[in-house]
Amino acid sequence: MPKLDVSRRGLLRTGAVAGAGLALPTIFTAQSAHAFTNEPTGGTVTLGFNVPQTGPYADEGADELRAYELAVEHLNGGGDAGMMNTFSSKALQGNGILGKKVEYVTGDTQTKSDAARASAKSMIEKDGAVMITGGSSSGVAVAVQALCQEAGVIFMAGLTHSNDTTGKDKRANGFRHFFNSYMSGAALAPVLAGAYGTDRKAYHLTADYNWGYTTEEAVKSSTEAMGWDTVAAVKTPLTQTDFSSYIAPVLQSGADTLVLNHYGGNMVNSLTNAVQFGLRDKQVNGKDFQIVVPLYSRLMAKGAGANVKGIFGSTNWHWTLQDEGSKAFVKSFGTKYGFPPSQAAHTTYVQTLLYADAVERAGSFAPCAVAEALEDYEFDGLGNGKTLYRGADHQCFKDVLVVKGKENPTSEFDLLEIVEVTPVDQVTYDPDHPQFSGGALGTCNNGA
């Protein structure tokens, strides 16, 4: 066996030369060849779908993922093209985005901010995702949005309802199609006043985290403006499962309306507990006791079962809408998967199309060019009527649905009925509205 005669100094010298040689392409090309982070150079472009695949919102995440896969299929020219047929913009041709075939990677947010950031980071750094989208919680959306801003990629938020996502935590690289707490309050209050009168005493139970606070504030201010009085607002731990000790004192407070600022499992449990306590069978102040759930989700309504019957709430979109865009989406999704899509599926599908359309109109994947194409962009045909992506805060402004738990559902999907389509003007606010103050978009980041 030949003996290798390698000195320590020789090894170091050779290693240094080899290392410099290997590093050379990166050092000289990283800044010059790529104008922005993950600029697609081949025949494909990669999108990152960051949804809860495990954890309590896994079913919602699964529906989001179905919608993303459907959107990719349509963008690449497959299926029946869904909402691309009804979208007011005709920039999308079914040949991918800017002629590049759309591919995707997925991450699991676990509905935890740190896990969501880690999976988004991995998709950006390892998989070369040029855009990140998804999420089923405001905490996750805000965390991932900040990460995308730093990394220089566009973030198209999924289901996030807190005012803060496009309020104090807004970012120039982040965009939200979903509605927010303020809009829920503004849409709900007049309907509640019409149904239950203007002389009501409300008792709020609020999930003790960011989304809960903004929803409580929004519903309180909207209903108080209608003449309602807020008797009490009690914070409940996010981990609470049995709400009996919070619900039992409600009647003793003199309140005749209970507002449950809860979402997900919290909403299912608190509503179930409230109905168990027979609150809705009681009369207080000479009126029938009522319960309100500001943010409804069909998937959550399913968990609460018959308890949602007759209870008002708001939602971003519902599959029973009869506009051409909604019908096209329900047909595409229903044919592919066998059941109607949720509002989470709708917003994520629409966000994917909107991103692709903005890239086509901008003629570039560069985040700042895409952001410019999205800002103050008006469109129609995607299920909520005429919509504006406002440039000042990157929030979509469109009609909001007020819904009610259906008394006689015909299927497990037919749980909510649309009571009113609140016109966009009624839910529009100034960018510097107090409920959204405290943050700034900053400047767009192309990264690289």
The one among 15, 43, 237, 438 contacting other proteins by CB under 8 A:
237
Interface with other proteins, residue 300, by CB under 8 A? yes
CA distance 253 to 201: 9
Q: List the beta bridge partners of residue 444.
A: none
Stretch of 85-93, 114-122, 212-220, 242-250 contacting other proteins, by CB under 8 A: 242-250
Distance of closest approach, residue 202 Cβ to other proteins, in angstroms: 14
The one among 34, 39, 40, 58 contacting other proteins by CB under 8 A:
58
DSSP 321: -
Interface with other proteins, residue 232, by CB under 8 A? yes
CB atoms within 10 A of CB 168: 17
Distance of closest approach, residue 350 Cβ to other proteins, in angstroms: 19
Shortest CA distance to 315 belongs to which of 420, 228, 166? Answer: 420
Q: SS3 for 439?
A: coil
DSSP 403: E
Interface with other proteins, residue 305, by CB under 8 A? yes
Distance of closest approach, residue 326 Cβ to other proteins, in angstroms: 11
Distance of closest approach, residue 248 Cβ to other proteins, in angstroms: 5
Interface with other proteins, residue 410, by CB under 8 A? yes
Backbone angles phi, psi at 54, to 5 degrees: -130, 170
Distance of closest approach, residue 38 Cβ to other proteins, in angstroms: 31
Measured between alpha carbons, how far is residue 257 from residues 113, 218, 223 in Å? 34, 16, 11
CA distance 97 to 334: 25
Q: Which residue has the tokens 């738990």?
A: 405
The one among 149, 272, 316, 364 contacting other proteins by CB under 8 A:
272
Interface with other proteins, residue 57, by CB under 8 A? yes
Interface with other proteins, residue 201, by CB under 8 A? no
Closer residue to other proteins, CB minimum distance, 83 or 131:
83
**Cβ contacts of 94 within 8 Å, gap of 6 or more:** 74, 75, 76, 77, 81, 84
Interface with other proteins, residue 304, by CB under 8 A? yes
Which sign, positive or negative, has the C-alpha torsion 300, 303, 304, 309? positive
CB atoms within 10 A of CB 414: 14
CA distance 373 to 388: 12
Q: Which residue has the tokens 């290997």?
A: 22
Interface with other proteins, residue 303, by CB under 8 A? yes
Interface with other proteins, residue 299, by CB under 8 A? yes
The one among 80, 150, 224, 242 contacting other proteins by CB under 8 A:
242
Element (H, E) at 203: strand 201-207
Stretch of 97-105, 159-167, 215-223, 261-269 contacting other proteins, by CB under 8 A: 261-269
The one among 139, 185, 340, 381 contacting other proteins by CB under 8 A:
340
Closer residue to other proteins, CB minimum distance, 403 or 441:
403
Q: In the window 135-194, what residues touch other proteins (CB under 8 A)?
A: none
Q: In the window 107-136, what residues touch other proteins (CB under 8 A)?
A: none
Interface with other proteins, residue 439, by CB under 8 A? no
The number of angstroms, rounded, from the C-alpha of 441 to the middle of its chain's C-alpha atoms is 18
**Cβ contacts of 199 within 8 Å, gap of 6 or more:** 227, 228
Interface with other proteins, residue 302, by CB under 8 A? yes
CA distance 444 to 153: 9
Which residues bind to other proteins, rule: CB under 8 A?
54-59, 208, 232, 234-237, 239, 241-242, 244-246, 248-249, 251-253, 265, 268-269, 272-273, 276-278, 281-282, 284, 299-300, 302-307, 319-320, 330-331, 334-335, 339-340, 410-411, 413-414
